[in-house]
Structure 1
Amino acid sequence: MKLKEKCGVNGSLVGRGQTHLGEEHQALGKAVASAGAEVSGKQEANGKQEVPRKSLNMYTWQEIQRHNQQADQWLVINRKVYDVTGWADRHPGGRRVLTHYAGEDATDVFRAVHPQLDVVQLYLKPLLIGELAPGEPSQERHKNSQLVKDFQELRKTVEAMNMFDANLGFFFLHLAQILILEVLAWLTLYQFGSSWHVTIFIAFLLTISQAQSGFLQHDAGHLSIFKKSKWNHLLHKFLMCHLKGVSGTWWNYGHFRHHVKPNIYPKDPDSKLDPYFLVGDLQPVKYGKKKIKYINYEKQHLYFCMGMLPFSIPTYINLKSFRMMYLRKDWVDIAWVSSFYIRHFVTFGPFYGIFGTLLLIHFVKFLESPWITCVTQMSHIPMKMSIEENRDWLSTQVLATCNVEQSFFNDWFTGHLNFQIEHHLFPTMPRHNYHKVAPLVRSLCAKHGLQYVNKPMLTAFGDIIRALKKSGALWKDAYYET
């Protein structure tokens, strides 16, 4: 039997701590872990700790870089070469996450997005086909090896500082805040009735609850709050599907593509806003020279304020979420999201009826939309947008992100996404530790001449509009150029 046939569905690039794993993949993880334990037990019984393996094939970077197509994908992790082609369709994070790094060194991104590596290493073994030849550098030749080495040393430093250990009390308090707001909204309705001013107050409470639920599910989707993956998985489903009414699988597939290649067009789904909006410097010029005009992009900053700010969550995100659940026949997410609507109908239906309850749900999403849109876009739209340049992990993240000044309010209002640089460099780090590692990251950026951008929050909000206006002007100049 060939290696890939033996591998079956036991090859994976996502570990036990990845909370967004589906039930199928959790079962696979347990099966592989059990198999590994069985093999270990047999080795001990035979008086051996390790089974000798055949010598691996040696590859050059020139050979590896040829395997960068969807139907032919190799990755390099810690100088080991893996063929992930057969596994890509079963990857819990989606095929495209792997495709984005095909033919490249994926050491830092692999380490960044997997909270725990014990089971992940078992998944990787069947995919191993060779290693870099002794004379080859550990990453592509055009990359700054000293910068890569310094970042990996920084990673080891923050690991030694226990910066990846989650404080359960911190997350429990945030969950308690959300549940208290939900209960308070329900009690207010039952105590004071459904007059319009009471309804506005209830919507205000629910808007805060929804926004904070979004920030907490973001944590649950990235890191291991609990030691057992099934509890992380259930927490993420509860927060994203039950409390917010949005598919957790949809979030997983899109959000991790954003993380591995932020602001890289078209690999980052958050930067692919065309034809509705053009961002960065390259995309507007391309549209302008081709005389493409779906809207008047010169005024896109105004359309952003009138359209995307209030409607991105109640329309765009909801439609994307429902579409994925329908096309994938994701019955688990459909059941969880259904519980969101059932809870609202049971709680608010006696006062507002079915239609009125639906209006309340979408009114809350309408209020939440500008909040979440500004927080998620303030650190990316104003930053460098580019096509694929295959940069090192540190440069990729720092050039595409910026921070917002720290304060108690800023931390709460943004769910600590004001530390976007640290979050992108260390996605599995609990957000309560971002401020502790920020000085170390700033120092490393200064050493290598990378600009570490930190700005006031209102300036960051304004920069979204200014960046869209600048892109619109670039489109106009190219469009009307004779």
Structure 2
Amino acid sequence: MTDVTTAGAQARARGSDYAVLARRIADAGLLERRPGYYTVRIGLVGALLVAGWTAFFLVGDSWYQLLVAVLLAVAFAQAALLAHDVAHRQVFRSRRSSEIAGLVAGNLVIGMSYGWWMDKHTRHHANPNHEERDPDVSPEILIWSERQARASRGVARFIGRWEAFLFFPLLTLEGLNLHVASVRALRRPSLRNRRTEGLLLAVHAAAYLGAVFAVLPAGKALAFLALHQAVFGVYLGCTFAPNHKGMPTLTGEQELDFLRRQVLTSRNVRGGLLLDAVLGGLNHQIEHHLFPSMPTPNLRRARPIVRAYCAELGVPYLESGLLSSYGQALRHMHAVGAPLRARRRAAGPDAPAPSGASAD
């Protein structure tokens, strides 16, 4: 009888490494829908949102609203994570149902353009950590490689020197950035359903700002909005930061097959079911990138299959604890900023900016 190793080698000879893994995952039934799980999850997220807004109106004009702001930030982040699963067709079979649910969760509930985010996230999945193709590692504010550091200008060059120390403070602005980017996206002719998206974003803004300023005086309203958006941004940033930050980045000269492109640029975060709930299952990032439409609760079950297969192939499969993953990301960010710090020290504080570069 042929052993597993020999069978695997023969199968790989007939197809790609990814095809072999995909057959194993499919045979384990891990690509099947989980309607019961998503019914419960949608109900819980909906209940959390209702509880948050109910508490907001019951508490009224009080500084205790800052606690409610934190609660609602968690609810908004969980709605965003649910919209992520919807976008990957993990929840509904049809594209139309997924699109409607995504518009409700994204545009109406949290004020983020579903179509804009879908385009950005699709490009990320196709080429994770690719410096020219992945919008998540474009050097607009932060830099992700020494190559980007050497080519950086303006804000990215200024922040890049100490971005490891500025990363978490900058995340407090991520919620605001998502709203601004969503409004800007409405000007793009390529955005599907622009009118619908614009209408839903306007309804969200009117209801959200109207409720806050109707219940709270201006000072407390502004404090509520600032804290709510800051915690929302930090939560989302801390959810996505462990996944790819600090992992190898690719350039146009580096072409990998699909399996290696996804595994080598991703990091898993070890933890139990509570961590799955907090991070929306994105702690199983390797499995999610290999099988984006796999329902979240199946990712944990896929993990040992993928890990064992990567060991067969000799492909590095990285896992770490949550705090360790943040440490790896921050150390990487500090390291890639070294050329900028060295250039600053060499030039001296009074030296003029190089020709063609913007002054700090």
Band the TM-score falls in, shorter-chain normalisation: 0.7 to 0.9
Give the Å deviation of 1:243: 1.1
| In the alignment, structure 1 residue 312 sits paired with structure 2 residue 177 | no
Cα deviations by residue, 1:49-81 (Å, 9 ceiling, x for unpaired): xxxxxxxxxxxxxxxxxxxxxxxxxxxxxxxxx
User: Aligned partners of 1:340, 1:386: CA distance in 2, in Å?
Assistant: 38
Moved more, 257-266 or 179-188: 179-188
Give the Å deviation of 1:223: 1.4
The match for 1:215 is 81
Identity within the alignment, %: 23
Q: For residues 296 and 362 of structure 1, do their structure 2 counterparts lie closer, same or farther at Cα, with a shift above 3 Å needed?
A: closer
| Residue 452 (structure 1) aligned to one of 295, 298, 317 | 317
| In the alignment, structure 1 residue 434 sits paired with structure 2 residue 299 | yes
User: Aligned partners of 1:241, 1:313: CA distance in 2, in Å?
Assistant: 13
Q: Is the 8 A contact 1:262 1:268 kept in 2?
A: yes
Q: Is the 8 A contact 1:285 1:478 kept in 2?
A: no
Larger Rg: 1
The match for 1:49 is none
Output the amino acid matched with 2:20: E
Output the amino acid matched with 2:68: I
| In the alignment, structure 1 residue 378 sits paired with structure 2 residue 245 | no
Q: For residues 189 and 381 of structure 1, do their structure 2 counterparts lie closer, same or farther at Cα, with a shift above 3 Å needed?
A: closer
| In the alignment, structure 1 residue 295 sits paired with structure 2 residue 158 | yes
Output the amino acid matched with 1:309: L
| Residue 276 (structure 2) aligned to one of 391, 411, 418 | 411
Q: For residues 440 and 348 of structure 1, do their structure 2 counterparts lie closer, same or farther at Cα, with a shift above 3 Å needed?
A: same
| In the alignment, structure 1 residue 188 sits paired with structure 2 residue 75 | no
The match for 2:233 is 369
- Give the alignment's Cα RMSD to 1 decimal: 2.6
User: Aligned partners of 1:251, 1:396: CA distance in 2, in Å?
Assistant: 22
Q: Residue 256 of structure 2: SS of its match in structure 1?
A: coil
Output the amino acid matched with 1:373: G
The match for 1:325 is 186
Give the Å deviation of 1:363: 3.0
User: Aligned partners of 2:199, 2:162: CA distance in 1, in Å?
Assistant: 41
Q: Is the 8 A contact 1:403 1:455 kept in 2?
A: yes
Q: Is the 8 A contact 2:83 2:102 kept in 1?
A: yes
Give the Å deviation of 1:336: 1.5
Output the amino acid matched with 1:325: L
Give the Å deviation of 1:457: 0.3
Give the Å deviation of 1:359: 5.8
Q: Residue 112 of structure 2: SS of its match in structure 1?
A: coil
TM-score (normalizing by structure 2)? 0.84
User: Aligned partners of 1:147, 1:464: CA distance in 2, in Å?
Assistant: 38
Q: Residue 379 of structure 1: SS of its match in structure 2?
A: helix
Q: Is the 8 A contact 2:171 2:234 kept in 1?
A: yes
- Equivalent residues in 2 for 1:24-173, closer than 5 Å: 149-173=16-40
User: Aligned partners of 1:205, 1:186: CA distance in 2, in Å?
Assistant: 9
| Runs (5+) with no aligned partner, structure 2 | 1-11, 348-360
The match for 2:8 is none
User: Aligned partners of 2:345, 2:70: CA distance in 1, in Å?
Assistant: 46
Give the Å deviation of 1:227: 3.2
Q: For residues 359 and 391 of structure 1, do their structure 2 counterparts lie closer, same or farther at Cα, with a shift above 3 Å needed?
A: same
- Equivalent residues in 2 for 1:415-426, closer than 5 Å: 415-426=280-291
The match for 1:67 is none
Output the amino acid matched with 1:154: L
Q: Residue 418 of structure 1: SS of its match in structure 2?
A: coil
The match for 1:10 is none
Give the Å deviation of 1:402: 0.4
- Equivalent residues in 2 for 1:244-283, closer than 5 Å: 244-274=110-140, 276-283=141-148
Q: For residues 238 and 353 of structure 1, do their structure 2 counterparts lie closer, same or farther at Cα, with a shift above 3 Å needed?
A: farther
Q: Is the 8 A contact 1:378 1:460 kept in 2?
A: yes
Cα deviations by residue, 1:338-396 (Å, 9 ceiling, x for unpaired): 22223325644431268965763443121111121122121211100120222100110
User: Aligned partners of 2:250, 2:92: CA distance in 1, in Å?
Assistant: 37
| Residue 175 (structure 1) aligned to one of 17, 20, 42 | 42
User: Aligned partners of 2:101, 2:297: CA distance in 1, in Å?
Assistant: 18
User: Aligned partners of 2:213, 2:168: CA distance in 1, in Å?
Assistant: 32
| In the alignment, structure 1 residue 243 sits paired with structure 2 residue 109 | yes
Q: Is the 8 A contact 1:241 1:333 kept in 2?
A: yes
| In the alignment, structure 1 residue 226 sits paired with structure 2 residue 96 | no
Q: For residues 224 and 409 of structure 1, do their structure 2 counterparts lie closer, same or farther at Cα, with a shift above 3 Å needed?
A: closer
Return the structure number with greater relative CO, CA threshold 8 A, min gap 6. Answer: 2
Q: Is the 8 A contact 2:66 2:224 kept in 1?
A: no
User: Aligned partners of 1:248, 1:468: CA distance in 2, in Å?
Assistant: 29
